[in-house]
Amino acid sequence: MITFEDHFGMADAERKRALELALSSGGDFAEVYCEYRTYSFINMEEDIIKETAESVSLGLGIRVIAGERTGYGYTNDLSSESIGKTALTAAAIAASKRSASLRDFREARQLEDRYPLAQPAHQASLQKKIELVRRAYLACQKVDPKIKKVKVLFQDSAQFISIVNSEGRAAVDARPQVKLVCTAVAEKEKRREFGFSGGGGRVGLEYFERILSPEQVGREAAEEALLLLEAVEAPAGEMPVILAPGHAGVFVHEAVGHLLEADFIRKKTSIFWDKLGKKVGSPLLSIYDDPTRPSFRGSYNIDDEGAAPAKTLLIDRGVVHSFLQDRLSSRLMGRPLTGHGRRQDYTCIPIPRMSNTYVDRGQDDPGDILRSVAKGIYAEKFEGGQVEDSGKFTFSISAGYLVEEGRLTAPIKQATLIGTNIDILQKIDRVGSDLSFGLQTGTCGKEGQEVPVTDGCPTIRISRMTVGGQS
Amino acid sequence: MRETGGAGSLIELAERIVGLGRQMGADEVEAAVSDGREFSVDVRFGNVENLVEAGSRYLSFRIIKDKKTAHATSSDLQDETLERLVRNAVDRAALGSRDECAGLPPLSPDRIDIASLRLYDPRVAELQASQKIRLAKETERIALEDKRITNSHGASFITNEVTAVLASSNGFVGSYDQTFCSLSVGLQAGETDEKVEDYWVSVDRFVQNLEPPETVAKKAVERTVRQLHPRKVRTQTVPVIFEPGMTDWLVGFLFSCISAVAVYQKTTFLAGRLGERIGNEKITVIDDGLMPGRLGSRPFDSEGVPCRKTIVFENGVLRQFLCSTYAGRKLGLPPTGNSDGGSVGPNNFYLQPGTSTPQEIIASTERGLILTRTIGHGLNPVTGDVSRGAFGLWVEGGEIAFPVSEVTIAGNLEQILGQVAMVGNDLDFRAPVCGPTIKIAAMTVAGE
């Protein structure tokens, strides 16, 4: 647990004053979001610690909601004059006679701490972090002489937030975040390939002793680059696709998660807007988003509106069960809050976002799934994807294999897969019993805001999907 | 140099950090301050949905001691925080490794006339919120008049005013003001399970150069409805025509492959290939930071090196990598005015236009795909491989036949540059990294 440090020194009276100003033109709701974040960074390449960086971010954002309208102002000048001006900027949206009445603050009780940790990274010495970086670097380099370039990055941050709103809710959170990543370039006869690995989460430095060693991160990056040196062009066209457990979770993030974010539902731009309670996928498919998984990169004790997060069943055996809600959408839709209102930082309005999204485990033996495919591809590692509201989505594999007669044969180079979700979700015909999660290094972008996320899935077979290779 | 209200105190802040760093034992110090004002309004179905207005100020600096570098940034500008950050940076540098290439550039005697670059429009600050809201509402209203449009992502008007200040221990002090404004609208057409979507945005430094609401609306509508009732096509190898917006990302990918940082790190297939023919003779690519009024123009880069015009590819031959001081030293090349806060960034980086009109390019194509949108990642600078989800228009007999969706295009940048068959005359610098319509003789289109 990292302890909350108050860098704002705003007494309740001052925070109340800001909320009063924010509601001075009317409005249903006002909120003050204070954020203090420290960040450190180490970069090793060419056998040296090339640079280190430290960053401090301090500021507050004030939001007013009036009906469907949101006014927002932010500042990093914490003088009471500047805070007052920011509150009035946010207030300008409302322009109504009716105004919510302010309630006294009640501190939200924290039932659980989702970041159990022993050695907070933001308090550890730089030498200790540099040592982790060196270990990953050396482990990567010594895998094979064909590894020509190695780069290791370490980042940690501590984010302290404090939220009060006009309904009287007061909540704080102190969120750690750690990430160690390694990239490797392997070279053979003028051919160059790239490998990547990493890990972290809302953990302390003990993670690198108990869960994932820096050596493993380094080795995995090297092994991926070496594997790709032998890779053949991916095939092009429609074929069966097996998604490997863990990393392939990006599939469900793109194909399903985004389009169940309640803002897209409320605005009827998502293909799922009229599909609550309707079947959109295979009965083998159940999907959750769970911000409460301890130590996960996408987890939080409270969301960025101060609401308690809940494990949320999105798809129940192929049927749309619920949406990812923030406060505005939940109120406008008359549906319960799920605690998925997130923001990148104090300069941003919170919007519905995913946290840790995954396909629930199924019944099938992963080996049987592989043996069931005569000709197709096995998608193992991913570099991301994208979806649009119409349900068209892509994800790009950075490493995988050809499947021939139920066996993995040649490794394949990168390829992008494309499909429409309501079509592809029906084509999921095998779900394995081997649920796992991808690397704890992922970031999701929406409307210019980046937030940390993870995703996961068991082995999955899609009976047919378009693969964008070159051969 | 333009005198602005705030620049004086910003320069003072930057110089104070440089002085503080030197005092605490740093050999070299460079400090940048950015002070910005942001306004954005989103309207949807005629109502204001979000209105954001804010000002903020950030500091970033680096110090070098014994050829070891440490960086820091802060939005907390209180004296005690800044002193602590400078002291920490000096301490941290000692834990780094000595790097002979580290350090600031020498002070350049050249000075760019900032006023002639036309980076700042005073009208941006003068524009009232009500006017900006009206422009956004008007744009969406016109778009929604088209009955084929079935839903709206909303229209937005955004303005930014930024003052950038840089001071270095080599004696450099500089500052400039710049403005940006944009008007955009995003639309959907078609019924629930058959939706298509697209948007249009006009961006400029000057309010008067923005496309009017009618134009933005019309382009967004046209781009959206032309995708209605798409088909999938069979997997095949055909000519692919890139619309200018598509050439933009290809040129952006090319930039990531000629950045000197990628070159010295060997994370690009173009490392070590200076002077070689990479594309065919139609490929001339230029980086130019000094084009008046353009989005990517600036008088000096993040290290104070004056910006300039650099020919990167000349008729297919790779002539120059774009360098920061550090990456340039690693490669034995001079800096090109492309430093971008520790990395290398483009100024106005563009593919030189040709002489064909887009209509001529389409008419020349017996059978092929006009690429209008892509989604997803799928760009690998190490190998040059490209693979992306694609949307477009199918061409038969030199004419647009039907829209295509749910296909992918794949190829390799080196082969793509070698197969550029035609280059359009329609370069319009709508984005700092850009190009005209181009036709690639053959690419793999994967479909059914």
SS (H, E, C) B165-185: EEEECCCCEEEEEEEEEEEEE
User: Could you give the residue ranges of the DSSP H alpha helices within B185-324?
Assistant: 213-225, 244-258, 260-264
- Give me the pLDDT at residue A107, please: 82
Rg over CA atoms, chain B: 24
- Facing A470 at nearest CB: one of B74, B376, B410: B410
pLDDT band (50, 70, 90) for residue B5: very low
- Give me the pLDDT at residue A74, please: 96
Q: List B residues 240-299 in contact with A (Cβ-Cβ < 8 A).
A: 265-267, 269
- Facing B76 at nearest CB: one of A58, A74, A470: A58
Tell me: the pLDDT tens digits for B56-111?
Answer: 899 999 999 999 999 999 999 999 999 999 999 999 999 989 999 999 999 999 88
- Give me the pLDDT at residue B357, please: 98
Each domain of chain A, given as residue ranges in start order, spans 12-229, 236-468
Q: Nearest-CA distance from A58 to chain B in Å?
A: 5
pLDDT band (50, 70, 90) for residue B1: very low
Tell me: the pLDDT tens digits for B139-196?
Answer: 999 999 999 999 999 999 999 999 999 999 999 999 999 999 999 999 999 987 888 9
**CA distances (Å), A337 to each of A259, A267, A311, A328, B152, in order?**
17, 17, 11, 9, 25
> pLDDT in tens for each of the 471 residues of chain A?
577 667 777 888 899 999 999 999 999 999 999 999 999 999 999 999 999 999 999 999 999 999 999 999 999 988 899 999 999 999 988 876 677 788 888 887 777 789 999 999 999 999 999 999 999 999 999 999 999 999 999 999 999 999 999 999 999 999 999 999 999 999 999 899 999 999 999 999 999 999 999 999 999 999 999 999 999 999 999 999 999 999 888 889 988 999 999 999 999 999 999 999 999 999 999 999 999 999 999 999 999 999 999 999 999 999 999 999 999 999 999 999 999 999 999 999 999 999 999 999 999 999 999 999 999 999 998 888 888 888 888 888 888 999 999 999 999 988 889 999 989 999 999 999 999 999 999 999 999 999 999 999 999 999 999 998 777
Interface contact B155, partner A, CB < 8 A: no
Residue whose C-alpha is closest to residue A93's, from A149, A28, A162: A28
Residue whose C-alpha is closest to residue A260's, from A353, A328, A331, A348: A353
Q: From CA A193, how far away is CA A231, in angstroms rounded?
A: 10
Q: Nearest-CA distance from B112 to chain A in Å?
A: 31
Residue of B nearest to A150 (CA): B265
Interface contact B375, partner A, CB < 8 A: yes
Q: From CA B157, how far away is CA A326, in angstroms rounded?
A: 25
Residue of A nearest to B412 (CA): A470
Bridge partner list, A471: none
How many other C-beta atoms can be found within 10 angstroms of the C-beta atom of residue B235?
Answer: 20
SS3 label, residue B101: coil
Tell me: the pLDDT tens digits for A405-457?
Answer: 999 999 998 888 999 998 999 999 999 999 999 999 999 999 999 999 999 99
Interface contact B28, partner A, CB < 8 A: no
Interface contact B173, partner A, CB < 8 A: no
How many other C-beta atoms can be found within 10 angstroms of the C-beta atom of residue B110?
Answer: 11
Inter-helix orientation angle B213-225/B129-144, to 10°? 40
- Give me the pLDDT at residue A97, please: 67
Q: List A residues 296-325 in contact with B (Cβ-Cβ < 8 A).
A: none
Q: From CA B223, how far away is CA B250, in angstroms rounded?
A: 20
Q: Where in chain B is the domain with CATH 3.30.2290.10?
A: 7-225
DSSP calls for B255-284: HHHHBHHHHHTT-STTTT-TTSB-S-TT--
A356 contact partners, CB below 8 Å, separation of at least 6: A289, A290, A291, A293, A296, A297, A298, A299, A437, A453, A454, A455, A456
- Give me the pLDDT at residue A415, please: 87
- Give me the pLDDT at residue B46, please: 96
Interface contact A279, partner B, CB < 8 A: no
Q: A113 with A301: CB under 8 angstroms?
A: yes
Residue of A nearest to B50 (CA): A70
Interface contact B9, partner A, CB < 8 A: no
pLDDT over 70 at B266, yes or no: yes
DSSP, res A301: S
CATH of domain B7-225: 3.30.2290.10
SS3 label, residue A12: helix
Q: H/E element holding B137?
A: helix B129-144
- Give me the pLDDT at residue A11, please: 82
B15 contact partners, CB below 8 Å, separation of at least 6: B31, B167, B173
**CA distances (Å), A311 to each of A270, A314, A338, B307, B383, in order?**
22, 10, 8, 52, 41
Residue where the block lists tokens 């924290």: A110
- Give me the pLDDT at residue A387, please: 86
Does residue B376 or residue B170 have the better pLDDT?
B170
Residue of A nearest to B88 (CA): A54
Name chain A contacts of B130, Cβ cutoff 8 Å: none
- Give me the pLDDT at residue A223, please: 97
**Pairing mode, strands A29-45 and A147-165:** antiparallel
Q: Nearest-CA distance from B440 to chain A in Å?
A: 15
- Give me the pLDDT at residue B6, please: 57
Residue whose C-alpha is closest to residue B445's, from B251, B229, B246, B240: B240
Inter-helix orientation angle A12-22/A80-91, to 10°? 30
SS3 label, residue B332: coil
Does residue A4 or residue B213 have the better pLDDT?
B213
- Facing B446 at nearest CB: one of A73, A126, A468: A468
Q: Nearest-CA distance from B159 to chain A in Å?
A: 15
Residue type, A188: K
- Give me the pLDDT at residue A8, please: 79
Tell me: the pLDDT tens digits for B299-331?
Answer: 999 999 999 999 999 999 999 999 999 999 999
φ, ψ of residue B422 in degrees (nearest 5): -145, 145
State percent of chain B over pLDDT 90: 92
- Give me the pLDDT at residue B2, please: 36
Q: A471 with B410: CB under 8 angstroms?
A: no
Residue of A nearest to B96 (CA): A49
Q: Do A74 and B197 touch (CB under 8 A)?
A: no
CATH topology of domain A12-229: PmbA/TldD fold (3.30.2290)
Interface contact A469, partner B, CB < 8 A: yes
Residue type, A9: G
Residue type, A211: I
Q: From CA A463, how far away is CA A419, in angstroms rounded?
A: 12
A293: exposed, middle or buried (C-beta count within 10 Å: 0-12, 13-18, 19+)?
A: buried
Q: Do A92 and B407 touch (CB under 8 A)?
A: no
DSSP calls for A307-370: PPP--EEEEETTEE---B--HHHHHHHT----S-EE-SSTTS--EE--SEEEEPP-SB-HHHHH
pLDDT band (50, 70, 90) for residue B262: very high
- Facing B53 at nearest CB: one of A89, A391, A392: A89
Q: From CA A222, how far away is CA A379, in angstroms rounded?
A: 19
Exposure string over A299-327, b if 16+ CB within 10 A, otherwise e: bbbbbbbbbbbbebebbbebbbbbbbbbb
Interface contact B144, partner A, CB < 8 A: no
Residue whose C-alpha is closest to residue A397's, from A348, A304, A466: A466
A241 contact partners, CB below 8 Å, separation of at least 6: A376, A377, A379, A417, A461, A462, A464, A465, A467
Name chain A contacts of B196, Cβ cutoff 8 Å: 390
How many other C-beta atoms can be found within 10 angstroms of the C-beta atom of residue A189?
Answer: 6
Rg over CA atoms, chain A: 24
- Give me the pLDDT at residue B400, please: 97
Interface contact A124, partner B, CB < 8 A: no
pLDDT over 90 at B238, yes or no: yes
